[in-house]
Chain A
Amino acid sequence: MLGKRINHSLHQKQNIVVCFSGPTLEKVLKIISRYPEGKQKSAIIPVLHIAQEEFGGYLNVDTMDYVAGLLGIEPIEVYEVATFYSQYYLDPVGKYVIETCRTGPCAICGGEAIQSYLEKKLGIKTGESTPDGLFTLKTVECLGACGYAPVMQINTEFYEFLTPQKIDKIINTLTKKSEEEKAENSKWTEKFF
């Protein structure tokens, strides 16, 4: 059944000040203004997408309360929405969230074997994240790409006609990319300090 629980030990309000940066706030206000006067609540889904992306990849209570304030609605109205839709994460996730499709058409084209392969490759079970915080492994329902099965989505990207070889390549590329980004960052401190 649709609906997730907010895990209270993790999500107790920490009273951290959450605030969109200038350009993001501008974008958010523009999105809100697309809906008729008095119907700003309509913007909640897109605004929560942006908030999740900006504030650590998941929605904690502080973030949700901030969004409620922006839209002029009660926090409970945001919790209701955040717990209903599967794209909102209420727990921390890795940098790359791997979501493999587990629904019928993908399942008959080898989707289940792909999931087991991913578990083995990453050394984690579905629902878990790798200790380095790089990957979270999940399953999702039909992604609307059944003709290209088996299918997974990593953040915004679709990966289709999956095979173990393809998975090796994707995981290795992402790992390498992340290491390069890290190296880039350390060079930055070298340069400026």
Chain B
Amino acid sequence: MDRKILLENIDIPGIQSFETFRSCGGYLAVEKALKTMAPDEITEEVKKSGLKGRGGAGFPAGMKWSFIDKKVDKPRYLICNADESEPGTFKDRYLMEKIPHLLIEGMICACYALGANTGYIYVRGEYKYIIGILNKAVREAYEAGFLGENILGTKFKLDIVVHSGAGAYICGEETALIESLEGKRGNPRIKPPFPALVGLYGSPTVVNNVETLANIGYIVNNGGEKYTQIGLGRSTGTKLISACGNINKPGVYEIELGVSVRDFIYSDQYCGGIKNNKELKAVIAGGSSVPILPKDLILKTASGEDRLMTYESLSDGGFVSGTMLGSGGFIVYDEDACIVRNTWNLTRFYHHESCGQCSPCREGTGWMENVLHRLENGEGRSKDIDLLVSIAAKIEGKTICPLGDASAWPVASAIRHFRHEFEFHVQHPEIVKNVNHGSLAKYVG
């Protein structure tokens, strides 16, 4: 189980440049698509491949593309979501830095399939040097005749524009991203209408993650059927996992979907085990928004099966005993981690990043942050734990965009699985106040 699609050629010197990328078979997919395939055939192959969106929600890419109504007489747009700001996630940065042309190749095929003549890459503003790398790659593609008018002598025309954000997690949400790209504050829109109908400048628009688009070249070259042979069951293909936290080998790994969580954490091929020979305590498996799971439940499902790195296995047990693959941001906590402090930290993040449109999210994230802050500082009250559960429940599902849910889930799951730690904070304020949180876990037991 270690076939690769995206990072196969990553170690070839100079693969960042157009020439080397091309000499390793790059842009063959564009030739095949434009010269031998009808646009809808590509969408069909992507559907067949079972490729799910790699940005977090896991929506099937081919199905999303087929929502575009080509009879509507308006320009169509493809937007590549390179806003990557979900804590724990740093895979798109790696892909764009190491092999930028893979993304551009995928975008050209996708735009051809959708009949879009403009594609935007929305890169988070902090990735300044990545913006430079992408602009260079785009220039090279223009010079080689893969972008611009009459690509490869066909009638197809495409411009790709690299656009920068300016620091706002919420702009990763697709409708906030569209607002931002239109030059406004990143306030998410109410859906429906979905972007496929009313997107950028009121036109039909597809928003896809960097990694999703980087897979398209392989699918065009090899067909959707071949893609389904990689991975496990309905989790087809590979996934970039960005591993961080208390592990020996943090970094970006391309895994074939289906690897066991235990192997991923402990084998030398991946995370290489817990740092300093400590014990594993908990994992957030798919970016900070997904439920945290304690050691027992991340290694095995509630029914005792080995937990695998697939969409289905990670969500086995729903939110009672499962989690989500999400964006692939894999955060590992060792035995010393204070779950209360960590939950406070993440809640502070969501409060800071809430765009403020919906009261439950704007106010609720702030309340949760305050309550968690007092618990963390030994000033909590016994009713606080239930209060947190109740605030989280009042945010979830009651907001315009999923940031509300994303702020509620970490709190609800931390209390569900580590309630005793929250209770300890209420019952032993003197210890909480006087002990460095790094060693608090020893007292909690």
Q: State the A residues within 8 Å of B (CB).
A: 1-3, 34-36, 39, 41-46, 48-49, 71, 73, 77, 80-81, 84-88, 102-105, 107-109, 140-149, 153, 156, 158
Contact = CB atoms under 8 A, between A and B. Distances in A.
Nearest to B168: A85
A108 B164 contact: no
A141 B349 contact: yes
Contact of A87 (B89, B126, B288, B351): B126
Nearest to A71: B183
19 contacts: A1-B355, A2-B186, A39-B183, A45-B165, A85-B168, A85-B186, A88-B166, A103-B345, A103-B346, A105-B87, A108-B246, A109-B245, A141-B87, A142-B349, A143-B126, A144-B89, A144-B90, A145-B93, A147-B252
The 8 lowest CB-CB distance pairs between A and B, nearest first, are: A86-B167, A41-B183, A85-B166, A147-B250, A87-B167, A146-B244, A44-B183, A142-B87
Interface stretch (B147-155, B230-238, B329-337): B329-337
Contact of A153 (B92, B126, B345): B126
B161 interface: yes
Contacts of B90: 144-147
B175 interface: no
Contacts of A80: 184-185
B342 A144 contact: no
Interface in B152-206: 159, 161, 163-170, 180-186, 201
A1 B165 contact: no
B362 interface: yes
B244 A87 contact: no
B185 A81 contact: yes
B125 interface: yes
Interface class of chain B by DSSP: mixed
B342 A45 contact: no
Interface residues of B, number: 61
B245 A2 contact: no
Interface in B69-115: 75, 84-90, 92-93
A141 B349 CA distance: 7
Contacts of A41: 182-184
A108 B276 CA distance: 14
Given A73-B183, A81-B166, A144-B126, 17 more contacts: A2-B168, A2-B355, A39-B182, A42-B181, A42-B182, A45-B163, A45-B180, A49-B166, A80-B185, A85-B166, A87-B167, A103-B346, A104-B288, A108-B246, A108-B337, A109-B245, A146-B88
Nearest to B185: A84
Nearest to A38: B201
Nearest to A158: B129
Contacts of A84: 168, 185-186
Interface string B237-252: 0000011111000111
B330 to A, nearest CB: 10
Contact of A85 (B167, B244, B345): B167
A2 B356 contact: yes
A86 B166 contact: yes
Contact of A1 (B92, B341, B346, B352): B352
A35 B200 CA distance: 12
B442 interface: no
Interface in B343-357: 345-346, 349, 351-356
Nearest to A1: B356
Given A86-B167, A105-B244, A43 B352 contact: no
B366 interface: yes
Given A45-B164, A46-B164, A108-B246, A87 B87 contact: no
B419 interface: no
Nearest to B355: A2
Chain A CB within 10 Å — which of B84, B90, B181 has the most?
A: B90
A107 B245 CA distance: 9
B408 to A, nearest CB: 16
B127 interface: yes
Contact of A147 (B118, B182, B243, B355): B243
B35 interface: no
A86 B66 CA distance: 36
Contact of A103 (B129, B349, B354): B349
A140 B85 CA distance: 11
Contacts of B288: 103-104, 142
A141 B181 contact: no
B124 interface: yes
Contacts of B169: 141-142
Nearest to B246: A108
A149 B183 contact: no
Given A41-B182, A87-B126, A146 B242 contact: yes
A55 B355 CA distance: 28
